[in-house]
Amino acid sequence: MVNDAASSLPDPGATSHEVLAHLQSGKCTTKALISEYLNFLETTGKRLGAVVEVFSQSALQEAEASDARRMAGETLGVLEGIPFTAKMNICTEEGTTDASSAMLAGFEAGVDATVVQKMRSAGAILVGKSSCDEFAMGASNESSAHGVVRNPWDESRVPGGSSGGAAALAGAFGWAIHLGSDTGGSIRQPAAFCSATGMKPTWGRVSRRGLIAFGSSLDQIGPLARDAKDCQIALEVLQGSDPLDATSLSFSESSKEPIRKIGWIRQGFGEGIDASIREQVEAARSILEKDGIEFVEVSLPTMAQANACYQVIATAEASSNLARYDGIHVGKRLSSNDLEELYSSSRSSGFGAEVRRRILLGTFVLSSGYIDAYYGRAQSVRQEIREEILSALDDVDALMMPVSPFAPFKIGERIDDPLALYACDILTVTANLAGVPAVAVPCAFDNEGLPVGMQWLGKHGDDHRLLQLASLWQELNDTWKSVPQGGQS
């Protein structure tokens, strides 16, 4: 028995499943664990700008209650005592849920999203809310009303987006599960930038009740954590059909067999993808080949259209979803005697520049005279993308490519160039357009010490098979184990 409570805490980079074992064996109490995690959020989490709200009081109370349940020998949840955070666009009973937008400043949902309820029922403890791009629109976390988020590996760089806060926390420190959302890459791209593991489940696998909508045919909630096993445990908890989300479904895997044959997506290694990213992912391929995984070249020509298609569909859906923030029913209101003026002044002052740009683009592509040329065409391209991916997956178990075409860039470097920011999404949007699951894992660090990520896409429902493959990779390669120096204080 160790007397000094602090000396018996898990290592800073420990996974949630290691922490579960640690708690089970009585090496520390849940209260000691949670207070140390709260300390991390208040120091590093706040310094990085990654956490917006920390729920110290309720988290410590829940930790005490959890310790009491453990002492009493009660049946414990599968995530008993594990800290978790929710992105600012996921409703929680405590605190605010403003989607990092001035439009929803101070909005208290007062109820938990289904995913938050499920995490709590599994014994996990909500410790805070993570920052994100405004309404989850972005790839650098520079559009949050709560300020920029810094990459824990180089604080002059972006953490990716839009779940940049969640990824920065997962990259900097272990122990916890972070709930993010992915409409066009927002779990995977920041995970890749921060050296975390992130999973975008099959569309519909996880309830979206309580998620502030961006692009409803693309949005999906998923976990970010240290490793694939953590994501697997979290997904088991999160998944399943929800009577309060008519788009949610239960899925089963296409096969029980582990993944042994992978399609190497040629377009993921072509023009526009930095050489250092290509080389690192190629090196990962060799490691997997040595373990007996078979690779075949796959060509997905529709990937060239995927980003344009995504920008049309995502902005169209965003303009429709965000129409509700009219200053009357929902959202910030500026007073005026004239209704038109009230709408326009409330909306122009509540929404930031990027959100306004998306609403304008989305309204344009849906407007009469243009809808067929833009939205209609994007829908048929989306169908082609989906068919191409599914037919490629007839011959292989999974598809592989990098997550981001380049390494994490400097804060401010791309912010004035929307197209340079949209270029971040070229490799991630395909999975959302096709609705298939995709998992991003740390692959290596480049010669500047910046994280490089890679991803696998699978058949609808093959989420756990993908996570098993990711776990195999994480047994063969320990890049994911690193935590940044100084990240803990």
Which residue of the chain is nearest ligand GLN when measured via CB?
186
Say whether 35 is catalytic: no
Q: Give residue 36's identity as a one-letter amino acid code.
A: E
**d(Cα 105, Cα 99) in Å, to the nearest integer?**
9
Least distance in angstroms from the C-beta of 444 to ligand GLN: 23
Q: Please state the φ and ψ torsions of residue 456, each to the nearest 5 degrees.
A: -120, 140
- Cα-based distances in Å from 482 to 41, 66, 479, 487: 19, 30, 6, 11
**Which residue blocks in 72-215 are alpha helix, DSSP H?**
114-121, 164-172, 188-194
Residues 182-201 vs ligand GLN: string with x where CB under 6 A? xxxxx---------------
The footprint of ligand GLN on residues 425-464 (CB under 6 A) is 425
Among the listed ranges 134-142, 369-377, 380-388, 461-469, the one in contact with ligand GLN (CB under 6 A) is 134-142
Q: Token pair 């666009």 is at which residue?
A: 89
Least distance in angstroms from the C-beta of 130 to ligand GLN: 13
Residues 282-321 vs ligand GLN: string with x where CB under 6 A? --------------------------------x-------
C-alpha angle 181-483-441 in degrees, rounded to nearest 5: 45
Say whether 481 is catalytic: no
Among the listed ranges 137-145, 296-304, 373-381, 445-453, the one in contact with ligand GLN (CB under 6 A) is 137-145
Pick 79 or 103: Cβ nearer ligand GLN: 103
Pick 248 or 315: Cβ nearer ligand GLN: 315
* Binds ligand GLN (CB under 6 A): choice among 37, 153, 175, 214: 214
> Does 403 contact ligand GLN by CB under 6 A?
no
Pick 9 or 191: Cβ nearer ligand GLN: 191
329 CB-near residues (< 8 Å, 6+ apart):
none
Tokens of 219: 């949005």
User: Residue 199 burial by CB count (10 A; 0-12/13-18/19+): exposed, middle or buried?
Assistant: buried
DSSP code per residue over 246-278: TT------S-SSPP-EEEEEGGGGSTTS-HHHH
Tokens of 449: 């010490």
**d(Cα 25, Cα 175) in Å, to the nearest integer?**
16
Say whether 162 is catalytic: yes
Question: Which residue is catalytic, options 186, 195, 319, 346?
Answer: 186
Binding residues for ligand GLN, rule: CB under 6 A, are 136-139, 162, 182-186, 214, 314, 424-425
Active site residues: 87, 162, 186
